[in-house]
Chains A and B, each alone.
Chain A
């Protein structure tokens, strides 16, 4: 595996960790959504990097990785739309985007 691919994969891993760090301690729902986008991106990066070194038809490069990324993009768009709509609805309910005030799902 070439240095470039390794680098990309490691960047992807670290970026994923950064996203994780954003999801866990932050209080703003929108920031959390943005962190999730970063995590999705990290995954996409890994897919693109790996699909380039996999054997395909008549040489290197398997296009399937790109197709997956396309699907991830679509799902990410859907997720952003629904997530932001939920944030909007929450804001109407609680006048806040702070997830600390949301403790409804409790026994």
Chain B
């Protein structure tokens, strides 16, 4: 399967073409539309599984292939510390010829021949992302059969969903920055198309935002991030002479140059991170995600919770070697992620729209992922991505199930007591809530608490990060149980006509909910944190980390330094490997050779921070206690305020009116952006408009007037007498002859 990776994104693309073309021309009944779409998505899942299976059984059988055609295949079987990798270049895409590389570091100028190819690559990180994207995507396709039933744009919806799958899989499989960027932009396009799916309807009555506006907002906000992403990629190109991920990683890890903390890598890291903040809705570019809830609920679940918004985290993990060598950029990632986690959680606490509450929760959880990536816990971040995909998709789909039956209303004030009518939805929603809130041993506990623990104990972490993160976790637990209480408990507050038709959603939807809830329950056991397994007296049973760690581990000078300085000390995990010593030595000599000898001691001191300290057993128990406490605190607060049929919450809203309003209106960030960004931008536009009207249009009008005047003069030559024309014709001929033939 691996040489035919192309089939994975191609299957849903074919589905998109089929459903799009045939569906738009009305040749397909709804039944066939969803059959084709689900089959296409399922095909991608099957191909992915086949590829993962082949990958996991070792790459040795593919080595002859690479020897035969080294320009096309790259096969690196798993050996020691370096991860197994496979990549295939199907065709050259942009032959850029020879380029002069301006070395920022010691290399100086050199020429490199570079060609950007249609490259797809495969390693453990890709495998995990593939399974999540294709798996959750297929489930949500199935769910949509029920949710979108009878919608007039049925085929349009499924066509876009298939296109999204194709683009997301391209993003995940992309072997170089440009191929990834195709997927990156493609999912942005699909996000836009699907957010504005109900383009003629008003989304937010308070601000008068239509669904089309929401789509535009998402698209334009993403553009800002995308530009930074492109700039970062180009900076990498002119530095390393390639867009290829593996080549860049190897260049950073393996070169004898002293990249650590170089300004260039930090700059690239920050640019890539800004790109990630756009796609993954982090401060300051998170504002689009809550409004992205204008799309149909399956879209919110698939694109704006499970897959697309995690692309930023995936990209950071893909570029982990760069970030390891750019601690400054990592610090920014961690701080921004942590702030986003807390900030979004506060806003999530005051939303009445169930989907918006979940959207802020998504922003907050993405913040945790970035916190994890920022403190070097890439494995935990990706693991949280996976668990989050399950429980958040389940939550969104559960909310969709509620919305479908509650008269298409998103307002939680109009729900209440729904567990009587919708038992399956309630059960799955509750399981996912427990998971996200961090009930011990459920998936969210495994992943989120691991991130928090790392943020405390990793030497790139900080106590403050942990404190804020824990505070955010309390709020997470609170707002999730608030949603559960408001939706499923207490008395029903729906209008009379809705109450009469309340019942459980169709089986095609509840079945998907059940599968996802099972995932939320059990996926966590794939990556039991070492600390937790230690508590129950087991060794390290973290299968997930075992698979993924080689891909995102710190290497090169970072790893070497950690080994050299601290190897053998108690309580310090060194991830040592035999090559580290020599790498370290070569790094040092290279360092001296390039004249960095003076600040060397200082820099090595900083490098030490690449390692991860291991907490003691007592600390583990304390963390476990804190996690449980956080969960209980949120649960307690929520049941205190909302348990009693929301009476106390209503009273509290009166006394805390200002705070509630501040949170409900999202800290007035939208208004702030209006004033600070959009206002000046509009003024600029008006200025440009004035210039356009006077200067540019004036020039055009002047040209028009001149043309008219000259036309008035020249028309005198048009006498209508053929002979006169002939005279001028001949005069011109003679003139030309005289000039040319002289």
Contact = CB atoms under 8 A, between A and B. Distances in A.
Contacts of B715: 107
A103 B727 contact: no
Given A99-B721, A103-B719, A105-B718, 18 more contacts: A23-B726, A23-B730, A24-B723, A24-B726, A24-B727, A24-B730, A25-B723, A99-B723, A100-B721, A102-B720, A102-B722, A103-B720, A104-B720, A105-B720, A106-B719, A106-B720, A107-B715, A107-B718
The prevalent SS among residues of B at the interface is helix
Interface in A18-45: 20, 23-25
B13 to A, nearest CB: 52
Contacts of B718: 105-107
Contacts of A102: 720, 722
B720 A20 contact: no
Contacts of B720: 102-106
A39 to B, nearest CB: 10
Contacts of B721: 99-100, 103
A53 to B, nearest CB: 18
A87 B720 CA distance: 17
A104 B725 CA distance: 13
Interface residues of B, number: 10
Contacts of B726: 23-24
A43 B317 CA distance: 77
Interface of A: 20, 23-25, 99-100, 102-107
A102 B720 CA distance: 8
Interface in B57-79: none
Contacts of A99: 721-723
Contacts of A20: 730
Contacts of B722: 99, 102
A107 B726 CA distance: 18
Contacts of B727: 24
9 contacts: A20-B730, A23-B726, A24-B730, A25-B723, A99-B722, A99-B723, A105-B718, A106-B719, A106-B720
A86 to B, nearest CB: 12
Contacts of A106: 718-720
Nearest to A26: B723
A22 B257 CA distance: 86
Interface hub of B715, B721, B730 (most chain A Cβ within 10 A): B721
A104 B720 CA distance: 6
A25 B726 CA distance: 10
Interface in B161-197: none
Nearest to A107: B715
Interface string B710-742: 000001001111110011001000000000000
Interface in B691-727: 715, 718-723, 726-727
Nearest to A106: B720
A103 B723 CA distance: 11
A82 to B, nearest CB: 16
A100 to B, nearest CB: 8
B727 to A, nearest CB: 6
Contacts of A100: 721
Nearest to B722: A99
A31 B722 CA distance: 14
Interface string B429-443: 000000000000000
Contacts of A23: 726, 730
A75 B718 CA distance: 28
A106 B722 CA distance: 10
Contacts of A105: 718, 720
A100 B721 CA distance: 7
A13 B156 CA distance: 72
B707 to A, nearest CB: 16
A89 to B, nearest CB: 15
Nearest to A20: B730
